Chain A
C-alpha cells in the first residue's frame, strides 16, 4: 500500500485502541507514550518507554505494528524515543480516571494522602513501596479495608 497516505488523526484513533499489556484498561495513548505519528512515508510511530527495564516495551511495539497492519498499513516503523523521558504527568485525564475505576490510584504530584480508588477515603496507608510491577506500590484503605495499588509518580 505504498503511496497511499494515511490520515494522522485516523492512525492516532487506531493507536488509542492498543492496550497496555500490564494495565489493559489503559490504551497507549492514555498512558502518554505515543510521542509522534508521521504519515509521510508509510507510518512511523514514535514511542517512549516508561521505565528502562519495562518488559512491556517490546510487547507494545509488536501490538502497534499488528494493530496498524490489521488496518491495512503495511509499512510500519517504530521509533523509540528516550528524550524527554516519560513521566506519569503524561497520563491523560481520561487515563487517570480509567486507572481509578480499575482499582489503581492514579499518580499524585501534590503532597496529600492517596485516596482509595474504591471508597475515595483519604485514610490510607502504604503497605509496600514495591508492588507487582516496577510502576506500582501497594497501599491499603483504612476505611473500607481494601488493599489497592498506587501508580507511582515518576
Chain B
C-alpha cells in the first residue's frame, strides 16, 4: 500500500464513523423530547456530517481518481463501509443515545487528538478542526450520563441497561488492524493501546460518578472495521442512498 492509498483508506474510515453516526442522529430530527435537546442533537449531527465531508473529500484527493465526498457517501455498498459497529446500532431510547455518544466520543476525541500530531498535514488539519467540536459534544454527553445515572430509580436502571448492552461494541475500537498499524508506522498515527488506557480511565471515572457499574469485558462484537456489519447498516444506507441510487447524478 502506498502512503496515498493508506491515507485514502484511513480517511474514508474516519468519514464512515462520522457519517453513519451523523445519519443515525438525523433520524431523530424533529423527534426530540424538548427544544434544547432537539437542537443539541441536530447541531451535533451536523458536526459529524461536516467532519465526514472533510474526511471524504480528503480521501478523494489522496486517491486521485476524481471521487467526490458524495461518491463516498452515496455510491458505496455496505461492505465498503468501515465504520465501527457501535455507531450503526439503532437509536433506541434517550439513554442509549447518551451512552453511545459518550462511549464513542470519549474514544474519538483521543483519536482525533492523536491525529493532530500525525505527520500527514491533511489529516492533522481536519483533526484539529474536529477535536474542538467533539470536546464540546462530550461535555453534553457526559453531563447527561451523570444526570441519568445519578437520577431517578427508573433512569438509573435504564441507563445501566444501555451501558451493559452497548459495551460489547467497545472492544473493536481498540483492536488495531493492518490499516491502524500502517498509519502508525508511516505517519506517526494514533497508538490504540494508549488511547484505550485513556478511554478506560475517563469512562470508569464518569461511570462511577454517575453511580453506575462498569460492565465487565465479555464477548466483543467486531468486524465493522473490515466491512462486516450488523444487519442494521444496510437499512440505514438504503434510506440514505435512495435518491442517488434511484436517480443517479440527481442534484439540487
Asked, given contacts A83-B128, A84-B128, A154-B132, whether A51 binds B39 with beta carbons under 8 Å apart, the answer is no
C-alpha spacing A82/B136, complex, angstroms? 19
Task: Verify if B36 is at the interface (C-beta below 8 Å from A).
Answer: yes
Determine, out of B40-48, B148-156, B165-173, the stretch whose residues face the partner at the interface: B40-48
- Residues from chain A with a CB closer than 8 A to the CB of B124 are 83
C-alpha spacing A38/B116, complex, angstroms? 27
Q: CB-nearest residue of chain A relative to B42?
A: A130
Q: CB-defined interface of A57-88 with B at 8 Å, one 1/0 digit per residue?
A: 00000000000000000000000001111100
C-alpha spacing A85/B140, complex, angstroms? 22
C-alpha spacing A54/B133, complex, angstroms? 12
Task: Verify if A101 is at the interface (C-beta below 8 Å from B).
Answer: no
Task: Verify if B183 is at the interface (C-beta below 8 Å from A).
Answer: no
Interface on chain B toward A: helix, strand, loop, or mixed SS? helix
Task: Verify if A3 is at the interface (C-beta below 8 Å from B).
Answer: no
Report B44-88 residues with CB < 8 Å from chain A CB: 46-51, 53-54
Report A109-141 residues with CB < 8 Å from chain B CB: 128-134
Asked, given contacts A128-B35, A128-B36, whether A82 binds B129 with beta carbons under 8 Å apart, the answer is yes
Interface on chain A toward B: helix, strand, loop, or mixed SS? loop
- Residues from chain B with a CB closer than 8 A to the CB of A132 are 39
Q: Are the CB atoms of A53 and B129 closer together than 8 Å?
A: no
- Residues from chain B with a CB closer than 8 A to the CB of A85 are 125, 128-129, 132
C-alpha spacing A130/B125, complex, angstroms? 26
- Residues from chain B with a CB closer than 8 A to the CB of A49 are 50, 129
- Residues from chain B with a CB closer than 8 A to the CB of A24 are none
Q: CB-nearest residue of chain B relative to A48?
A: B129
- B residues in contact (CB < 8 Å) with A: 35-36, 39-40, 43, 46-51, 53-54, 121, 124-126, 128-130, 132-133, 136, 140
Q: Are the CB atoms of A53 and B50 closer together than 8 Å?
A: yes
Minimal beta-carbon separation of B20 from chain A (angstroms): 15
- Residues from chain B with a CB closer than 8 A to the CB of A131 are 39
Q: Are the CB atoms of A134 and B129 closer together than 8 Å?
A: no
Task: Verify if A52 is at the interface (C-beta below 8 Å from B).
Answer: yes
Task: Verify if A55 is at the interface (C-beta below 8 Å from B).
Answer: yes
C-alpha spacing A139/B86, complex, angstroms? 35
Q: CB < 8 Å: which of A52, A86, A129, A130 contacts B50? A: A52
